[in-house]
C-alpha cells in the first residue's frame, strides 16, 4: 500500500505542475521554483516530515523534496553550529543530489548530440 501512496503523491505533484503549466503563462522554471518554495514552507511548519511518514519514498522524489532538504539541513546544523551551521547544513544535505545532477548532465551531453 505504501508504494501506491508514493505513486499517488508523485502523480499528484506532477498533475498540479501540469495544470499550472497549461492554464497560466508561467514557465517550467517558475513552476519548479514555486514547488521548491512550497517544500520549504511545508518543512518549516513540520508538515513535510509527516507526509514522508505517510507516503514513504514517494515524498523524496518530487522537486518539493529539494526545498525540504534545504531547510531541514539548515535548521539541523544551525542548532549545532549557530549561524555558520545554516550554510553548512544546506551544503551537507543537498550536495550529493547536486553533484549527481551535474555529473549525469555532463555524461549525457557527451553521449548524445543535439538536433539541429
Q: In sequence order, what DSSP letters do the residues of 73-94 get, joined into one string?
A: HHHHHHHHHTHHHHHHHHHHHH
pLDDT in tens, 14-58: 999 999 999 999 999 999 999 999 989 998 898 988 998 999 888
Q: In the predicted model, is pLDDT for residue 116 greater than 70?
A: no
**Residue 72 pLDDT:** 83
Give the residue-averaged pLDDT of 50-77.
86
Q: What gap in Å lies between CA 69 and CA 113, rounded to an integer?
A: 33
**Residue 37 pLDDT:** 92
Distances (CA, A) of 76 to 16, 61, 113: 30, 21, 42
pLDDT in tens, 74-109: 888 888 888 888 888 888 877 887 888 899 999 999
Q: Where are the beta strands (DSSP E) in 8-111?
A: none
Domains of the chain by residue range: 2-111
Amino acid at each position: 500500500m505504501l508504494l501506491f501512496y508514493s505513486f499517488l503523491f508523485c502523480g499528484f505533484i506532477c498533475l498540479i505542475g501540469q495544470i499550472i503549466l497549461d492554464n497560466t503563462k508561467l514557465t517550467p522554471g517558475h513552476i519548479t521554483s514555486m514547488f521548491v518554495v512550497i517544500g520549504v514552507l511545508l518543512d518549516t511548519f513540520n508538515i513535510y516530515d509527516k507526509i514522508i511518514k505517510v507516503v514513504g519514498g514517494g515524498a523524496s522524489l518530487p522537486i518539493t523534496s529539494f526545498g525540504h532538504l534545504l531547510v531541514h539541513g539548515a535548521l539541523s546544523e544551525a542548532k549545532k553550529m549557530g549561524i555558520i551551521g545554516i550554510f553548512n547544513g544546506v551544503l551537507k544535505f543537498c550536495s550529493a543530489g547536486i553533484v549527481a545532477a551535474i555529473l549525469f548532465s555532463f555524461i549525457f551531453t557527451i553521449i548524445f548530440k543535439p538536433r539541429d
